[in-house]
């Protein structure tokens, strides 16, 4: 009887999930997706402004130091750091995050009412976020910072200062990568749980939306 009750409960949950998917109000899902792309666009714009401003300020500071510092070692370090800052600024300006473009494309999809295409666009945006945070995204900063550290270490004969310049540059680069938006990735990562009965396992994903007009839930088996 206990097992039969469990199976009836599972069947009820599957029926409820099918009903929820069939009768879900599209506007709730549209609102959730719109909130996701809007959040990503705001974060991406703020990220570009803050890092662009930071790199520009650093490049200006080091350019002045390269000319006016009283110590020859400080002038050398400043020249290296100025070049690195300019490269960082160019990377931020030339390769912005994709969220503002995705926001414009999503607006067009919403105007047509193509829910499937909108979901796919969110999924693609999540993939782009993960691609920009992959291990390979560190290759460019690694080469730039390694070159700067080696110049100081060997060309100016200061191994300790070269290592410090390399480590500091890599830390800044890692912060730049990690502060990029993950709005779409968080949306795609739907929470889940697993139902077990009679040795069988049934994974269930769920996502819910809450708006001033209505609350809804979507279950996927």
- Give phi and psi for 201, each to the nearest 5: -125, 135
**Average pLDDT for the chain:** 84
Interval 126-141 mean pLDDT: 96
Query: Residue 92 is inside which H or E element, if any?
Result: helix 72-94
Cβ proximity of 214 and 220 under 8 Å: no
Q: How far is CA 72 from CA 69, 78, 79, 149, 158, in A?
A: 7, 10, 11, 17, 12
**What's the rounded Cα separation, in Å, for the pair 118 and 56?**
36
Query: Residue 184 is inside which H or E element, if any?
Result: helix 183-188
Q: Which two tokens stand for residue 50?
A: 């803050």
Locate the domains of the chain by residue range.
30-133+180-195
What are 40-91's pLDDT values in tens digits?
Answer: 999 999 999 999 999 999 999 999 999 999 999 999 999 999 999 999 999 9
- With bands split at pLDDT 50, 70 and 90, how would you rate the model's confidence at 24? very low
Query: Residue 8 is inside which H or E element, if any?
Result: helix 2-23
Q: Which two tokens stand for residue 15?
A: 């029926």
The predicted structure's pLDDT at residue 6 = 47
The predicted structure's pLDDT at residue 23 = 43
The predicted structure's pLDDT at residue 96 = 96
What SS3 class is residue 116? helix
Q: Which two tokens stand for residue 205?
A: 């994903």
What are 172-185's pLDDT values in tens digits?
Answer: 999 999 999 999 99
Bridge partners, residue 24, by sequence: none
What are 192-202's pLDDT values in tens digits?
Answer: 455 566 666 65
Q: How far is CA 191 from CA 84, 205, 218, in A?
A: 41, 6, 11
Q: Cα torsion at 27, 33, 39, 42 (round to 10°)?
A: -90
- With bands split at pLDDT 50, 70 and 90, how would you rate the model's confidence at 131? very high
**What's the rounded Cα separation, in Å, for the pair 162 and 154?**
8
For the chain, report the end-to-end CA distance as a whole number of angstroms: 25
What SS3 class is residue 138? helix
Closest CA to 81 of 70, 93, 69: 69
How many beta carbons lie within 10 A of that of residue 170, not counting itself? 17
Query: Residue 207 is inside which H or E element, if any?
Result: strand 200-210
């Amino acid at each position: 009887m206990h097992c039969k009750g469990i199976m009836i409960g599972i069947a009820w949950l599957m029926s409820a999930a099918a009903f929820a998917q069939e009768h879900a109000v599209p506007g709730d899902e549209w609102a959730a997706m719109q909130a996701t792309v809007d959040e990503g666009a705001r974060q991406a714009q703020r990220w570009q402004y803050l890092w662009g401003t930071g790199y520009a300020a650093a490049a200006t500071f080091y350019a002045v130091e390269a000319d006016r510092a009283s110590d020859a070692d400080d002038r050398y370090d400043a020249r290296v750091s100025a070049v690195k800052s300019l490269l960082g600024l160019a990377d931020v300006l030339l390769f912005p995050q994709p969220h503002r473009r995705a926001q414009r494309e999503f607006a067009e999809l919403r105007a047509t009412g193509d829910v499937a295409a909108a979901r796919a666009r969110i999924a693609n945006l999540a993939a782009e976020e993960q691609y920009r945070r992959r291990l390979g995204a560190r290759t460019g900063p690694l080469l730039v910072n390694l070159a700067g550290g080696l110049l100081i270490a060997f060309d100016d004969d200061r191994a300790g200062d070269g290592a410090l310049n390399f480590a500091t540059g890599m830390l800044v680069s890692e912060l730049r990568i990690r502060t990029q938006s993950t709005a779409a990735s968080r949306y795609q990562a739907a929470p889940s749980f697993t139902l077990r009965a009679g040795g069988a396992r049934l994974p269930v994903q769920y996502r819910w939306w809450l708006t001033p007009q209505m609350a809804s839930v979507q279950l996927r088996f």
